[in-house]
Amino acid sequence: MRLLITGINGLLGQNLVKEFSHDHGISGIDLNPGIYPESESITVAQLDLNKTADLKRHILETAPDALIHTAAYTNVDKAEDDRDLASAINAKVPEELALICSEQNIPMIHISTDYVFNGDQGPYREADNCDPRGHYAESKYAGEQAVLKLGGQVAVIRPNVMYGHGRDLKSSFVAWLIGELTQGRPVNIVDDQYSNPSYARRLSSAIRLILDKKAWDVWHFGSKEVVSRYTFALKVADSFGLPTDLISAISTGDLNQRAPRPMRSGLICEKLKQKLGFPILNIDEELQLLKEEMNAT
């Protein structure tokens, strides 16, 4: 089996490589050359997904058994000013990919987000009404809807507040927090944004299960309990033996962020557990797994 992974250098991309590289051939696409040593089983093409003709040619040449689309314009605040680019990457690219995949009969996993919901009354089930707020949210919603509209062998997975281990990652809340607390620097964390964070290593295992079972549907993935970001930060500090007294609670309004955030978010993951038998763990269990993963590398 050969998988094609877009955004292979990103947080989820790297975790998918960990999940699949021992028993799959992997072709990756990313804007930058990549972080993987030359090998027969992992090859990375430096390619802008917006270049549709090049993208199509590359997919035809690679002829993957499945495509996992993780790449996105992920800077939520910058997307407010950079609307055309955010829409191109988050809405147009998934649509093009879904078209190519459906023409070539290639199963596609598309990564969406909890931002498709307005965050007024979470946590949300897969079938709940979407109401994206802000341009990142709207563009991601347009992307997942375009993919779902084409249908066929397509699964859409929505994580929220993703974290995990990886190399040279540009933005990872947990890695940043551990870094700050290790250096003894105080941090301010919002206590009014709620989510059930998604551990990227286990999300990658869930993606394997969805592919194995050909579970073409919409799936939510996160941890068992919904907590504020402040509580999550305390849990991270506890798990890694770092000082919790450096963490102060602030409110979202204090940050003056450009884009709105889903405040009462969170994703109910019962469907993944009930239909596919995938165990949903609590945050402390997943942080323990992250710690083991970090110690092992």
Ligand X SMILES: NC(=O)c1ccc[n+]([C@@H]2O[C@H](COP(=O)([O-])OP(=O)(O)OC[C@H]3O[C@@H](n4cnc5c(N)ncnc54)[C@H](OP(=O)(O)O)[C@@H]3O)[C@@H](O)[C@H]2O)c1
Query: Active-site positions?
Result: 136
Among 28, 159, 262, 266, binds ligand X (CB under 6 A): 159
Stretch that binds ligand X, among 4-12, 144-152, 219-227, 280-288 (CB under 6 A): 4-12
Give least dist CB 207 to ligand X, A: 11
Site for ligand X contains 109 (CB under 6 A): no
Site for ligand X contains 7 (CB under 6 A): yes
Among 32, 39, 248, 288, binds ligand X (CB under 6 A): 32
Among 9, 139, 204, 239, binds ligand X (CB under 6 A): 9
Among 4, 5, 12, 67, binds ligand X (CB under 6 A): 12
Give least dist CB 70 to ligand X, A: 4
Q: Annotate the chain with DSSP letters as a single string.
A: -EEEEETTTSHHHHHHHHHHTTTSEEEEEESS--SSPP-SSEEEEE--TT-HHHHHHHHHHH--SEEEE------TTGGGT-HHHHHIIIIIHHHHHHHHHHHHT--EEEE--GGGS-SSS--B-TTSPP---SHHHHHHHHHHHHHHHH-SSEEEEEE-SEE---SS-S--HHHHHHHHHHTT--EEEESS-EE--EEHHHHHHHHHHHHHTT--SEEEE--SS-EEHHHHHHHHHHHTT--GGGEEEE-GGGG--SS---SB--B--HHHHHHH-PPPPPHHHHHHHHHHHHHH-
Among 21, 41, 43, 50, binds ligand X (CB under 6 A): 50
Site for ligand X contains 89 (CB under 6 A): yes
Give least dist CB 165 to ligand X, A: 12
Interacting residue ranges for ligand X, rule: CB under 6 A? 7, 9-13, 29-32, 48-50, 70-72, 74, 89, 111, 113, 140, 159-162, 169-170
